[in-house]
Structure 1
Amino acid sequence: MHTLTEAEVHKVLETARETPYFALFYLALFTGLRRSELLALKWSDIDLNMGQLSISRSLHSLAGGKIIIRQTKTARSTRTVALSPSTVQVLKDHKCKQQAFKLLAGLHLNEDDFIFTNIDGKPLLPNTITHNWIKIIRKTGLNGIRLHDARHTHASLMLKQGVHPKIVQERLGHSSIQVTLDTYSHVTPGLQQAAAKGFDELIIIN
């Protein structure tokens, strides 16, 4: 597992900004969604007014490039994830661009359309996303950071800022809070130190 620092997240996003995948990678870093969940998202899954999205399916590529859509495996995987204001704005901008492309082709954007697509409107292939992530990472000089590490980064940074592990579990769709704690045990020492310092500040009288 490798995670990005706050500064490295900014660096990756600035590099991705000039690519067609900016919104997708932004959403990956700001929600911790799996690649398969990101690619299966439709506009009907997102409420930009409420600032949230719903996860209920995943997209996979079979041998030969055939795309299949599956329902999420567990009840925990089917979930609602809150979006930050900046993420909502990125998605609004992405939607406007997609609508413009559709109009040029004489089409209209429908709620049942996938959010992340090729120019022809077909879903993106998982390997296409991974390859473009690698290109961006190489440009930033952060070799070795996988797309799945965007998920780890989201979880680790949330835990470091004091977000309760239960919330992180719900956002990631882990089957239990124990999975979250076991996966991100490397963050625990820092959390304990911060908790001890906070308790000191609360109780100690100078």
Structure 2
Amino acid sequence: MQVWDELDVKTFLDFSKTDRFYIVYLLALTTGMRKGELLGLKWQDVDFTNKTISVKRAVTRKKGGGFEIGSLKTGHSYRNISLFDYVIKELEEYKHEQRKFKMKNRKTYKDEGLITASSSGSFILPRNLDRSWLSALDESMLKKIRFHDMRHTHATLLLKQGTHPKVVQERLGHYSVTVTLDLYSHVSPTIQKTAAENFGDKIFGTQSAQTK
């Protein structure tokens, strides 16, 4: 597991702003969704009023070969994720640009309601996303991570910032909070330190530092 820090995340998102798959990278880093879940998202899954996104399906590999949009791995994978205001704004702008593309290509575009779609309206193959991701990663000159590590980055940063593990579990769609804590045990020392400092500040304020 390799993860980025906050500066890495900001740098990559700024760098990839004009990338075809920018909205995918943005959602991966700010929601912790899996690759297949991201590619299976539809506009009907976004609640712009309540600022949430519902994970209901994913692009998965078929038994006989190839890919399809199918059900999620487990019941816990079906979930609602709260979105940051900035992400909502970016989704609104992306939807507007996509609408213009659909109108311009309405004779050839088969609209399936997908947030991320090919030029014909069908879902994106994971390997095509991977190809663009690796290219953007190389050009960004940032620390090399896997696509799935953007999910780990989201969880790690939330935990370091003091977010309750139960909330992180729900955002990631893990079976239980124990799974989340075990997977991100490397963050525990930081959480402990932050908790101790916050606890002390709330009770003693700056007095503890002044008495040293």
2:19 matches 1:19: yes
Give the Cα separation in 2 of the matches to 1:36 and 1:54: 14
Give the Cα separation in 2 of the matches to 1:85 and 1:66: 36
- Deviation string 1:90-126 (CA, Å, 9 cap, x unpaired) is 111111111001110236x999511101111111111
Instruction: Report what 1:146 is aligned to.
Output: 146
Alignment of 1:75-94 (within 5 A): 75-94=75-94
- Deviation string 1:58-113 (CA, Å, 9 cap, x unpaired) is 11245997331221122211111111101111111111111001110236x99951
Identity of aligned residues (%): 38
CA contact (8 A) 1:26 1:87 kept: yes
| Secondary structure, counterpart of 1:76 in structure 2 | helix
CA contact (8 A) 1:156 1:184 kept: yes
Give the Cα separation in 2 of the matches to 1:64 and 1:145: 30
| Secondary structure, counterpart of 1:146 in structure 2 | coil
Q: How many equivalent residue pairs?
A: 206
- Residue 57 of structure 1: CA displacement? 1.2
Instruction: Report what 1:49 is aligned to.
Output: 49
Taking a change above 3 Å as real, the CA distance of residues 159 and 110 of structure 1, as seen in their structure-2 partners, is: farther
Instruction: Report what 1:127 is aligned to.
Output: 127
Which amino acid is the alignment partner of residue 137 of structure 1? L
Taking a change above 3 Å as real, the CA distance of residues 36 and 10 of structure 1, as seen in their structure-2 partners, is: same
Instruction: Report what 2:210 is aligned to.
Output: none
> RMSD in angstroms over aligned alpha carbons?
2.2
2:170 matches 1:193: no
Structure 1: runs of 5+ lacking an equivalent: none
| Secondary structure, counterpart of 1:19 in structure 2 | coil
Taking a change above 3 Å as real, the CA distance of residues 126 and 55 of structure 1, as seen in their structure-2 partners, is: same
Which amino acid is the alignment partner of residue 44 of structure 2? S
Structure index of larger Rg? 2
- Residue 25 of structure 1: CA displacement? 0.6
The TM-score with structure 2 as length reference comes to 0.90
Give the Cα separation in 2 of the matches to 1:65 and 1:92: 35
- Residue 203 of structure 1: CA displacement? 3.2
Structure 2: runs of 5+ lacking an equivalent: 208-212
